[in-house]
Amino acid sequence: MPVALVRGARLNVLQVDEPQHGHSTAPREDLIMVHGLAANLAFWYMPYAQAFAKRFRVTLFDLRGHGRSEATPDGYTPQELGQDLLGLMDELGIRRAHLVAHSFGGVVALNAACREPARVASLVLCDTHISAARRHSVPRDWSNRAHVQAVLDRHGLVLDTHDPYFGYRLLTEVAHLQIRHEPVGEDLLALVGPMLGRNGKRTAAQWVKLMDETAAGTQLMGDDGLDVQALHRLLFPILALYGDHSQARLTGGELLQVWPHGEFRRVRDAGHFFPVSRPADVMHECERFWRGDYVRRPVVRSGEEQRRHFRSDRVFKVDGAWHFSTRERGHIGPYDTPDEAHEALARYISDMAVTV
């Protein structure tokens, strides 16, 4: 794979592009996809890169110290990793790009965006937890917290699920267990998802080495480098997806007030790693976002407050078929495609709605 030298580190890069069809000679728009902690560019490769390459030139890369990218002694603060992203764009000749990011990758993308907002065409955040949701003196609950805490307690891990960094600490604890060849319960493996799953011993070793032998352990868990005023100044199109059962969902409520122009979508009954467990849902939401569905004038029921809010994914997939949910009749379906379900939902609402 190609390597880009960025701010003193060799970053592993993969670009996926499809030949242009027809007679168009216009350059294609760029999409850069950013993975989270303890992951690598493979997180976004299947099925996303090939599918999105029909619309964009897609760039995937390993963050500094991850995957096949170089692990430097330092340079791991979110602000510095955001500079890595901008430096990579310079190195690849990308003037402006659409961004898709999961988890901590969203913190990296936002730091880059706050530094140079004109270089971001749009942003899709997938379950990103930032400091805007960490400034509460009283710990706030999230839907699956009690279950997760029970799993941690059962395995003797002294971690507090109210701690906004508990996910990072959990990665390190499970990685140490795997390196010592100690058994890791299925329920515990489920919490770390694809990062340190059953076949993740190589990733576990790399993560522990990164934590123990570089400044990443302290720099990654320091200040996000993000503040509400800087985030408020980001005016490009934003889609924020959050899993119902993820701690990161707490961030969504904060950002909803920061970005009134953004589209906020719940991913039904999903946890933190829904890009892996629910790729069809994520790709569908992205395609709707990029083709401009969410900027059209919304339809709401008569008498309801006419404002944007955190929306549920009312169209969803169950047992291979698509359905939509209503207040009056529960779930309606099945339909063969999500577009058919959305069209049926629009027809259902039209009888009781007004256009604003």
Give this prediction's pTM. 0.86
Asked if 17 and 85 sit in the same domain, the reply is yes
Residue 174 and residue 190 in one domain: yes
The pLDDT of residue 33: 98
pLDDT of 195: 65
pLDDT of the residue at 310: 56
- Shared domain check, 176 and 310: no
Q: Are residues 106 and 87 in the same domain?
A: yes
Specify the pLDDT at position 302. Answer: 47
pLDDT of residue 300: 47
For residue 23, the domain's CATH number is 3.40.50.1820
Q: Tokens 């890791």 correspond to what residue?
A: 184
Cβ neighbours around 325 below 10 Å, total: 16
pLDDT digits (tens, 9 = 90+) for 334-351: 999 888 888 888 888 876
Domain termination residue (choose one: 219, 252, 282): 219
Same domain, residue pair 207 and 347: no
* Total structural domains within the chain: 3
**Domain interval for residue 332:** 298-356
317 shares a domain with 208: no
Q: Which of 280, 296, 312 is the last residue of a domain?
A: 296
- Model pLDDT, residue 106: 97
117 and 244 together in one domain:
yes
Helix locations, 34-180, DSSP H: 42-44, 50-52, 78-92, 104-115, 145-154, 166-179
- Strand locations in the chain, DSSP E? 3-6, 9-16, 30-34, 57-61, 97-102, 120-126, 238-243, 263-267, 299-301, 311-312, 315-318, 321-326, 330-335, 353-355
Q: Flag residues of the chain having pLDDT under 70.
A: 1, 20-25, 132-141, 194-199, 296-313, 351-356
- The residue among 171, 193, 219 that closes a domain is 219
**pLDDT (0 to 100) of residue 127:** 94
DSSP codes joined into one string, 164-195: TTHHHHHHHHHHHHHHTT----HHHHHHHTTT
Regarding whether 190 and 229 lie in a shared domain, the answer is no
Name the amino acid, one letter, at 245. H
Same-domain status, 8 and 73: yes
Helix or strand or coil: residue 120?
A: strand
Indicate if 183 and 265 belong to the same structural domain: no
Residues 176 and 32 in one domain: no
Both 54 and 120 in a single domain? Answer: yes
**Residue 127 has which token pair?**
């379950």
CA distances from 232 to 76, 114, 198 (A): 25, 10, 41
pLDDT tens digits, 28-77: 999 999 999 999 999 999 999 999 999 999 999 999 999 999 999 999 99
